[in-house]
Amino acid sequence: MELVMIKKIKIDLIMEKIKAYLIALRNITIGINLISFRLLLNPKRLVGTISTLLFHYSTLSDSRRLEQKSPDKIFPNKMKYEIKIDTNSKNFWGFDSSYTKDIVTLCIFAKLIQAKRIFEIGTLNGYTALHFAMNTSPNSKIFTLDLSKNGNKDTLLKSTVIDKKIQTKHSSIKNYCFNNTGYENKINCLFGDSAIFDFTDFHANIDLFFIDGSHSYEYVKSDTLNAVKCVKKGGGIIVWHDYGRWGVNGISKWLHEFSSQGNKIYSVPGSSLAWMIR
């Protein structure tokens, strides 16, 4: 029985890799141009460049299925404040400017609703948790959940090939971005699989819930349904990361489905964030 399970896991992994290669081939076929030919000898850079171009094309052409709307359009009278950004990290100076806009917008959301309790799924190196701590009051609490660092990649629900690579990176992280910054006392690190984590203590008392864990359809759906239970009604916000990116993730598929169920979800122009008011 155990041998059968191991074979099934190996087959599933092979199928996921084949799926990832097919998606990469699709993106190259759709997005190839004369400039891209210069990258033919660097397939990894080629795929990344084209995927980024396709992402920006969808936001610039306003061809996303979720309405593009920034928070200043919803809260026009609450946009006067300062935010703090850590520019000493390579996370800030990445080549894709959309990630910089992502972190800036997350800081804006935290300030906008004066969040006292924030829950994040997907800690990784703690870059986002640090910014939540930097842009909230001294008595605010940030709870950030990630898989344990024991190296076990087994999860209850299906995850993507990219997620598994990130899990490997996560298990090797020794220090978080918020260590020795003066903000670590506001941040509570939690460990466990979000599909089986007990969110009961957080029900109806979270102001801002950020979903950036496993990017598979199954996990984003599960995390969303838990977030709905946790976020306060009447002003709490749920935010998803990596919406609209042309990769193996199932975020866009789930959010389009969730939106069709009567949930008003917006996408931030020029950013990979999607968000809704609870």
State yes or no: pLDDT of 183 exceeds 90. yes
pLDDT of residue 172: 78
- Dump pLDDT digits (tens) for 56-100: 778 877 888 999 998 888 887 777 778 999 988 778 887 778 899
Residues 155-193 as b/e (b if ≥16 CB within 10 A, e otherwise) read bebebbbbbeebbeebeeeeebbbeeeebbebbeeeeeb
The answer to whether the CB of 246 falls within 8 A of the CB of 28 is: no
Instruction: Share the mean pLDDT of the chain.
Output: 85
Least confident window among 35-39, 137-141, 145-149, 194-198: 35-39
Higher pLDDT, 34 or 178: 178
3-state secondary structure of 172: coil
Domain extents in the chain:
1-63, 65-277
Mean pLDDT within 189-210: 97
Confidence of residue 5 (pLDDT cuts 50, 70, 90): very low
State yes or no: pLDDT of 189 exceeds 90. yes
Least confident window among 25-34, 86-95, 269-278: 25-34
**137 token code pair:** 């009051």
Q: Does domain 65-277 have CATH number 3.40.50.150?
A: yes
* DSSP conformation class of 186: G
3-state secondary structure of 239: strand
- Looking at the DSSP assignment, which residues form a beta bridge with residue 240? 211, 274
Least confident window among 9-18, 59-68, 107-116: 9-18
How far CA 276 is from CA of 15, 63, 83, 197, 241, in Å, comes to 34, 19, 21, 23, 12
State yes or no: pLDDT of 127 exceeds 70. yes
Beta 274-277 vs 266-267: how paired, if at all?
antiparallel
Phi and psi angles of residue 190, each rounded to the nearest 5 degrees, phi first: -115, 150
